[in-house]
Each structure stands twice: as C-alpha cells, then as structure tokens.
Structure 1
C-alpha cells in the first residue's frame, strides 16, 4: 500500500464510535511519513483515541505510529456579531418548557466535554431560577481580577458563572424583562473566561426575553434542544427549535431526556412519558437526535448532591450517554464554517 492508498484508507475512518464524521471530512490527517501518522482532531474525544488508533491500523492493514492531538477552532456566529474574546464556541442548551431536566443535562454535557479534553465554561442564564451553584456545589461570590471582571470559579474542570453567586439563594428575582436581559449580557461579558473551547449556556425554558437577548446580543455558535418524549414537552420544544432557526443559529441536535425508566426492583423497562417523539421531531426538522437519556434515580440524586453523573462516576453507563452526546455536539460543530476574522488584520495605511 503506497502513501496515496494509505491516505485514502485512513481518511475513510470514522473519528469516534458514535459519529459518522470521518478523518477525511475534516482533513484531520496532517502528515504521513512511512508508518508515522500525525492526526489533529477538530473536537474533543480523548476517550476515543485508542479505539481510533486501532481502527486506523486495521484500515491500513499494518501497525502504525499514530500521534493524535486536538485543535478546536472558533466557528461563525450570527450576522452582526463577532466571536467573544477567550470563548471559541458558545452552545445554548434550551428547552421549550420547564421540568424536562435541561439544567442537569447542560451541566453533564459541560462536564463530559471537559472529560473528553476540552476547556469548558458553563453560564447559568436562568436568571429567575439559577441552579448551577447547587449542581456544581459552588458557594460564595467570585473574585474580581485587575480589569474588574469576575473570575469564574471552577469545579470538576469547568469554569462557571451564575447570578446565583451574587444573590441570596432564598431571594426572589422580581425583575422585569430589560433587567434580566442586561443581567445576561453582563454575566457573559463581565466574566473573565479563561481560553474556552466551549461555553455551555444553560438557558431558561421558553422563548422570552432571555432567548431574544441571546439571539441578538450574544455570539452563539449553535443550540441544543432538550425535551422529554411527552407530547406537551415536544410541542414547546418545536417552538424553541424554530426560534433558533429564525435567528440563524444552527441547531446541533435534540436530546431526549427521561426516555425510558427501568424498575429498580424487577428490571422492567417502561416509556413513562411516551416514545418516539424526539426521533420524529429530529426527522421533521432534519436535525440529529443526539441521544436518549433514561429516567434514573441516581442521575437525580447525584445532581442534588452537587456531584452530577459525569463527575460522580465518569465511566458509568449513564455518564457514557452524556459523553456520547458531548462528542456528537463537538462533531456537529466541527463541520460548521470557521471564524476566520483573526486571519484578517486591518492596519492603517
């Protein structure tokens, strides 16, 4: 097998076991020198590297010395906005209605991306009901740096910012829409994010002021919709998805939460909230179904303890669901148009 044949064989190899994205589609193979291969991946999937090496060797039908690294690029955001300093990609995690487990899902996706090797931040945009301080077991007000920006506290390798750090946990947020919108912009812009590959924004439910502010003022790379199989949740989730489409924010996919419950006594599986709804929604809107998460007591218990599933037991079955979803999100982002503004510098003539 000559170099050209080897490259063709290797470029057809899928990057991860849960994504059809190949090495060739993202030009990940940077050099081939005899049996030494340099691969630079465009999204974080550290848990897949050994398996990828094995599949590359199988495709080439020989042992190879494969060096794998990761370089995550910034991607284009809405027209009229520019990529934020120190934040390459902003991912909004949204739902049409409350109670579908969006915040728990957002936190675990953030943790999963970090476990896969990315630099990750988490912004709690639910001004009326912030939950990130509890989910990450973070207390106290953040420190300010020399520029008077908040230094985001980190937990489990994820930088976090929330209005919950700045107010009493028992104090109601009796704010009108403009104040809430301004609070979101300040949380985003006045937090000293430290060189993030991904910033996950945990959105409040619905399609109100926060969502409009996000689409008009915050540079967003893509959105993820969280729903349950229940018809009522799906109805609202569809509205949320269409809102992102109208504001030209790519929808990276749909996550179906509470898809199946397994009885802890007898092992019987039951689709308590219905079945197939998110898959139909995915087909109707031509967006990926990123994953289906179970209705499981330990996910809830771990979240309430401030030790979300991916942090509490990163190799558990449930954590692997989140990590697979995170890898699919990374792969979906990797094929979007890149932001090249940093390559064009205007100088005075």
Structure 2
C-alpha cells in the first residue's frame, strides 16, 4: 500500500489550497461549480447538479492541447485527482518545467491576495463594529419636551395623560428608557409608557387622595428630566366643607345682629329713662314720679338731673 498525503486549507470563502504529496493546487467556486488548478499546469472544471449525483468534468493542460472530458453519476462516479499528474515523457517534463514555475507563481499571488482580502475584511468588520458601538454609546436621550396641555389640578379618582417627545426622535425606546416618580404616592399615582415611531413617552397621573404632590419624568440613561405639581381635589368633601362654612358664617352673622339689636334696645331704653320727668325737692334725698308725693316746693327735672338721689319707695 502506498503512502498518500493530502491536505486542504480554506483561505477565503469558496477558495481552498490543496497540498498533495507531489503537487500543490488551488480551487475556487461555489456549490455545483468549481475550477481547480495544480502545480503541474492542469486545470479541471467541474459542473454538477446538487442533490442528483450528476456532474460534468473537463480537464485540460494550461498552454497545452490535450483535453479529457468525463461525466459521472452517483452510481459509478470516479473522483478526479487534479493534484496528481499523469505519466509524461521525459521531453514533456522538461518542456513543462517553466509552465510549472508560472503556475506556482500564479498560485502564490492568489494566496497572497486571498489572505489580504481576509485581513482587510476583518479590519473593515472591526471598524464597522467600532462605529456601530460608538453610535450605540452616543444614542442617549438629550431632551424631553411636553407637547400636551399642562395639568395642575385633577379630581379624586380621575386620570390625566401627559405626552413628552424624545430627542433624538429615532432613539431606540425600551420599556424602561423613561420613568416617572411622585413625591407623595398616597396623593398621586404616576406611570410612564415608552413608545416608538416617533420616540415619545405618555405619563398617566391619577388622583388618589386630596392634597398636592410633585411628579418627575426622567430619562434612565441621562440627567434629562421634566417636573410638575398637581393638586388633587375631593369635590364632594370640598362642597360639604363649603356648605358647612356658609352655615357657620350665617349663624355668626345672625348672632351678631341679635346682639346689636339687644344693645340698641338697651341704649334706647336707657335714653328714654334719662329723659323721663321726675320731681325733687331742694332738701330731699329722693326723687318722685308724682308731684303730689314730692310735696311742697317740688320741681320737675329729668332723670339725668336727680344726681345721687334715690327713688321714692312709694311712687317710684
């Protein structure tokens, strides 16, 4: 049994270097069609129908005139060995020496070119990857702009939605790219929904209890944010409180009016009493409502003139 050595190396997509015991060859092609050239100056062209086992093969010598054609099927196909040279006369071997050198040079150029393409392609891919990474790192939210009407008041149990556009507009939005928080979750509930085409955020505010709370809409990957303040109203409680305050105010006003009327009546009564006519005597210590009770020398005066005299026990 003879010793056989053969090794095949892939140097580029569709291109392989075949190293045998007596020759070196290179082949290129795609599925169903391939061209092989070896260092002996033989070129083999093979065309087949994938999956059928049928193929057509043509072998010719570069610069020569001998050509052999073979067709085969999956039943009796014989492998073609372009890397093994047929027996040649001594004269032809000498004649083909230069041709073999040329083929070696041609194969070397192909190998160098293929390696250069691979290295260059790898560098280009690395550059593209670096560029893509740079683009991804630079793609951050730079601005949030509120496009909906401002909301400063909301009823208990109701909701309002705010819309914010995102710059850049082609930012690749994710579910948590932008989030919303509240200063008092017992008063105000907030939630954020991130949307695309264009990039935007819809923030929903829901009143949970009467009071005032602040909210913040912020980008997760930067310091860009928007803030606001909302007052939650409990309309029923506010109406009840207003009615109660009105009733208390009316009661206070009525009490004040009654007190003023009582005071005025007392003042009028006092004034009337001061202007009432009574009778006194120059030496008497009492004042009298009746002149006959006052006696002789009695004179008529008003109450504000009686001085320190006391009422008469009989007529006053």
**What is the TM-score when the length of structure 2 is the normalising length?**
0.18
Q: Which has the higher contact order (CA 8 A, sep 6+)?
A: 1
> Higher strand proportion, which one?
2
**What is the TM-score when the length of structure 1 is the normalising length?**
0.16
> Higher helix proportion, which one?
1
